[in-house]
Amino acid sequence: MLSWEERRSLVKIANLYYNDGWTQEQIAKKLGVSRPVISKSLQKAREHKIIEIFIKDETVHTVNLEKKLEEHFGLEDAIVVPISGQTPDVVKLSVAQAGAYYLSKNIKKAKKIGISWGTTLEALVQEYPYEMKKNITIFPLEGGLGRKKVEIHSNQLAYELAKRLGGTCSYLYAPAMAESSELRERLMKMDDINAVLQEAATVDIALVGLSNPYVQSTLEDIGYLNQNDLEQLRQLGVVGDMGFRFFDLNGNPVNSSFNKKVIGISLEQLRNIKKVIGVVSGAHKAESVLASLKGNYINVLVLDEQIATELLYASE
Amino acid sequence: MLSWEERRSLVKIANLYYNDGWTQEQIAKKLGVSRPVISKSLQKAREHKIIEIFIKDETVHTVNLEKKLEEHFGLEDAIVVPISGQTPDVVKLSVAQAGAYYLSKNIKKAKKIGISWGTTLEALVQEYPYEMKKNITIFPLEGGLGRKKVEIHSNQLAYELAKRLGGTCSYLYAPAMAESSELRERLMKMDDINAVLQEAATVDIALVGLSNPYVQSTLEDIGYLNQNDLEQLRQLGVVGDMGFRFFDLNGNPVNSSFNKKVIGISLEQLRNIKKVIGVVSGAHKAESVLASLKGNYINVLVLDEQIATELLYASE
DNA sequence: GCCTCCTTTTTACATATGTTCTATATAGTT
DNA sequence: AACTATATAGAACATATGTAAAAAGGAGGC
């Protein structure tokens, strides 16, 4: 316990230092002691909670979530977007904006970027600013998905992003899912397709979305999966996918009949990309995100506050 | 005004620096920027009051005053803030800070918190740190007060405090003072209003300000009371109010014409709340505080040295 | 009164932080 | 598209702060 005299003196020093902006040297001179005494006094004042430092901003909540996510899942970065009572659509847009911002700040050294598909990534690309960044190439991470909603296809997003970056892009002239594994094999032997996929696996940065195939699933919306398919996936223990590659609760690839028909990079290849940025919004995707984290596919996560909270709660 | 991205980044840096004790060098490395950027960010955060340094100033004198106040008025706690030659505005801010600090250290078990209105409580809320405290609900203790100075209304303060605590808040969609007692009755019968007031009466902690209606009165400032009204109150022996509930020298409720028009919790209800924290600054309020203490409404008092001295002197 | 042990202060050094100036990038304008 | 104005980042330097070890002061024992 400190004496009153000492307490007074600590308060006085603290005030001079923190409120009046004096240097320790000046305070020492004024009080007629050596500087280290002031240095130690300030330490003591902090120890005894005479001085307390608060960080005061609305973003404190989400920044704390980010730190916990980074620590808990060994992420390189996590960006948590506050939901603050907004509708899912608005939150999704905010997440996309945050993703765009993050990408633009971390794109410096990248020469090759891969992009998957989906509505969230579409929003991200639309939010991306136009900036000259020569010598960059964008690769689609999987083929197209038929005629519907062309604007969210991997190829299309690669094209749009390349336009915004002033770079070039490759195309995967192939369906995301071939009609049979045999057809897939044949397509995969084609040089145009094979070469692009090979390169796609070596990008510096990959942008991926995550889905829950059972709830509000774009895959179902566009008619790629029907109820039968979903039932099959459920039986196999699938909880999510990234670019048509389905995985289970632990993030392990699930060998469904689809898997052999998909034209796109594999989960294994994805894991080997140095920087995989997952962009995801909507509470129903929490389980899928958790699984993908367990599978160690993702290095950077951009997500909304609600998923972030659920992820941490689920992994207590 | 700073953008969300920038505030987020400043908070992140400040957090690593002040809470986790990283050096600027380490932070710079982690974020992939040069060290001066971190140095400048921290300066910016200080300028924008994102980083706040609280010096817990107490002297033998104030601690003695606290002890005497606690004994003399049977208070659970008293916090006396030294004035040390500061201007009233600065003292008011210190009192608000001390109140915020006290609340944050005593909020642990609380599930429901009520808050009144006024400039002092507004400052308290603004000083309150952002800290996650799930499952807490904030209730306004009375309705709104017209269009002026919305930021000091009970509803608004409840909202702001809830935001800081990561909790939820209820609203009282009603004026603090209805145009007639008849209108008040009708409003009070509305479910939305009634239910909130019922719950407001059962909060674990209530935060209230105190006023002297005659001197530097916010009630007069915002045009809620005119000279006639004040004269009337004076005739009735009113010496102060808490949330539009006027009381006399002994703390007894005064049945003015206003009383039947107020939409807010009664003094009787306030007295039944386990922990009522009164936060008050400015010598002109001494008499009001004394009366409220006699009325036994308050359990914890946060006040400045000057009022504290006068309270003890008056009740020798 | 002198010595010893313990605490506190200071000196000198190591480290961390703040600042200036230059280089680079960005935005706005013709 | 080229230019200028403006902002921003980084390298190098200046200053401030933290810390270990030596010195000084002070209390208790003989």
Are B140 and B160 in contact, with CB atoms under 8 Å apart? no
Task: Encode pLDDT of A281-312 as tens digits.
Answer: 999 999 999 999 999 999 999 999 999 999 99
Query: Given a cut of 70, is residue A134 above it in pLDDT?
Result: no
Strands B238-242, B245-248: pairing kind: antiparallel
- Please list every residue in chain A whose beta carbon sits closer than 8 Å to the beta carbon of residue B49: 56
The Cα–Cα gap between A2 and B94 comes to 23
- Please list every residue in chain B whose beta carbon sits closer than 8 Å to the beta carbon of residue A52: 53-54, 56, 101
Cβ of residue B43 lies below 7 Å from strand C: yes
Task: Encode pLDDT of A167-178 as tens digits.
Answer: 888 988 888 888
Other beta carbons within 10 Å of A44: 17
Are B95 and B115 in contact, with CB atoms under 8 Å apart? no
Q: Which domains does chain B have, with CATH numbers?
A: 1-57 (1.10.10.60), 60-314 (3.40.50.1360)
In this complex, do B19 and A67 lie within 8 Å of one another by their Cβ atoms? no
Are A66 and A79 in contact, with CB atoms under 8 Å apart? yes
Short-list B93, B18, B59, CA closest to A52 = B18
Q: Is the Cβ of A110 closer than 8 Å to some Cβ of chain B?
A: no
Show Cβ contacts of residue B224 under 8 Å, excluding neighbours closer than 6 positions: B145, B146, B176, B177
Query: Given a cut of 90, is residue B314 above it in pLDDT?
Result: no
Name the average pLDDT for chain B.
92
Task: Encode pLDDT of B7-23 as tens digits.
Answer: 999 999 999 999 999 99
Which tokens is B210 given?
A: 């105190």
Short-list B310, B274, B272, CA closest to B290 = B310
- Under DSSP, the state recorded for A144 is B
Chain A: give the shortest CA distance to residue B183, in Å. Answer: 33
Task: Encode pLDDT of B244-282 as tens digits.
Answer: 999 999 999 998 888 889 999 999 999 999 999 999 999
Amino acid, res. B103: L
The Cα–Cα gap between B77 and B205 comes to 13
| List of protein residues whose beta carbon is under 7 A from strand D | A 17, 23-25, 35-36, 39-40, 42-43; B 33-37, 40
Task: Encode pLDDT of A185-229 as tens digits.
Answer: 998 888 889 999 999 999 999 999 999 999 988 888 887 888 888
Dihedral Cα A294, A297, A299, A302, nearest 10 deg: -80
Please give the residue of chain A at the shortest CA–CA distance from B12: A63
Query: Given a cut of 90, is residue B226 above it in pLDDT?
Result: no
**Closest partner CB to B4 (pick from A19, A59, A106):** A59
Predicted pLDDT at B184: 92
Q: How far is the CA of A132 from the C1' of D1 (A)?
A: 14
How many beta-carbon pairs under 8 angstroms link A with B? 90
**Closest partner CB to B11 (pick from A7, A59, A98):** A59
Query: Which residues are registered as beta bridge partners of B112?
Result: B137
- Find which nucleotide's C1' atom is closest to A26's CA: D16
Q: Is the Cβ of A148 closer than 8 Å to some Cβ of chain B?
A: no
Other beta carbons within 10 Å of A235: 9
- Please list every residue in chain A whose beta carbon sits closer than 8 Å to the beta carbon of residue B55: 11, 14-15, 18-19, 50-51
Cβ of residue B42 lies below 7 Å from strand C: yes
Average pLDDT of the segment spanning B99-105: 95
Show contacts of A58-61: CB within 8 Å, 24+ apart: A58/A82, A58/B7, A58/B130, A58/B163, A59/B4, A59/B7, A59/B8, A59/B11, A60/B11, A60/B15, A60/B129, A60/B130, A60/B131, A61/A305, A61/B130, A61/B132, A61/B166
Confirm whether pTM is higher than 0.75. Answer: yes
Task: State the helix-helix crossing angle for A88-105 and A119-127, rounded to 10 degrees.
Answer: 60
